[in-house]
Structure 1
Amino acid sequence: MQHKLFPRAGAVAEDGWSPKVEGAKDYPGFLARLEPQIRRWKQAGVEVADSAFAVTFATTQSRGVALGAPKVGVTLATQAPFGAIRYTLDGTAPTAKSKLYTGALSVKSGLVVTASSFAPDGAMLAAPRRFDTSREALLTTTNGQLAACPGQSLWLRLPLDADATTNGPAYNINIFDPCQADDHAPLAHAKAVTVSIARIPRNFGLAHDVWTQATHYPTSAHGELVASLGCKEAAAANAKDPKAAHHDPLPGAKVLASWALPDPKTAPQRFDVHAVLPADLAMQDESNVCFQFTSPLSDPLYSVEKVVWSEQGQ
């Protein structure tokens, strides 16, 4: 909960207590004042989220091109434009004296880029983040990299347990219709897929919004996870059909794999499913693949933790 409140509380205070101004607000000035306030919060024992200053990574090539290239182009950025990004290529954590990021990197395939942002006085603003350029990493799509399925939004980021007292994983999820999409699936390189799944308690009293939940038609007791190819095009083609969203997959999409979900009373909270991809479908890189959960509304929610595309067909 503290991660949700801090440092957002600083932004709320800034907006509520500052005089109203015409035009753009002084965002750089706010960030300069926020950074020492974050230090004070931390000294008081507050768990402050560092995501605003955490380094994020992106490749300059498509995944398919990166998989076939001797070097991978990597860009680094932070949500909040404050401080400087510094990085290493030897696996060690960066310091205030590490190499300064000034533009897109071109690194040998297989290297790990480790980066963090630093305040003007050299203090680290966020824990180091790593970006692995190995083949296995490029064939993996994490929860944070998955998009919402067409026409949806990933409204919330939820932990495994609402009553957790320590830091742990959290997952992007649409509680009205759990579905996530890999919009850049490297299917020309993939022969199999492994999906890691997290089960999340359905602790929501939706009141009048209960009718916005999507009802699916599962074929097993606790529903399925259905992976379908071409869901974006199928959603566009069926945009005027309100009943289409209840079909799995959407009319026009192709099923890549389907797994029956286990009994939530006996199954582990995190588990993997695996399938060999059908050989009779034409596969291309940068494909869009949707992962739709069809569990009944009486069961818990689910979120895809990661998708690993495999070049081995087994």
Structure 2
Amino acid sequence: MSEISPAALRGAVDLSTLRNRPAAPAQGAPAPGVTDVVVDATDESFGEILEISRTVPVVVDLWAEWCGPCKQLSPIIEKVTRELNGRVLLAKVDVDANPQLAQGFRAQSIPMVVAVIAGQPVPMFTGAVPEQQVRDVFAQLLQLAAQNGVTGTLTVGEGAEPAAEPEELPLPPLHAEAYAAIEAGDYAAAIVAYEKALAENPRDEEAIAGLGQVRLLDRVQSLDLQAARAAAAAGPLDVQAQFDVADLDLAGGHIDDAFGRLLDLFEKLPSDERTAVRERLVELFGLIGAADPRVGAARNRLTSLLF
């Protein structure tokens, strides 16, 4: 998303089933059980974290080990959270290990990032986004929190040591070049850097996922959602029109919709016009990651259509 509005606090997700109802922390007091501004949240611990949202906004990052885009977005969210020095708590949720939280947040696709202010959810992101957009939405989140009286600052609990930040290994030069280009909004340069990395090592999975992500960002940045959907509806066999809507769906986290649209198109097209659709599907499979069950299901359908 690009903007948070106060109306987002009303009725987005029902989190009542996730409460354990401990006493809310006093403004400015150390948050109970929190030893760092970045914590791992579980089905069992989230009730306490939910109460902390009355002191500072809680940003909930729903991720999974198999999710390629999560590995791009999560480090950016953690970096921005730490820079805010206790004005935000980041709660990381492994959806595979915590099905109750995944259900409570209605996580149909990941990465999905939701904030909680005073116990009320606020949608932030679905899908990977550039760092500058993350910063912009965090700034809007703090403004919305202030409008709702949530202006505290967390301190590390007495006697507890903050969690040590993992030592970051330096990125390979071409990956670093791509990341710098993405942060600058120069997607064309990022594409070139990732393509060079793949020329050196065609099995570089991080480069494969990164290239797919930045190509997607480059394609959707100039698209208008309403115009794209109208064009796709008017031309059900218009390959580019269907590509545009599939890209927008994928960027918005609607992965099954994107795959289904392209597979339906592949099925309807004459055999000599299917190559571009198959290649786009393969590219998107690489972006989401082979371990994602939605990729497996879509790949199986594509195979059945091919043979």
Q: TM-score over 0.5 for the alignment?
A: no
Query: Bigger radius of gyration, 1 or 2?
Result: 1
Q: Which one has the bigger strand percentage?
A: 1
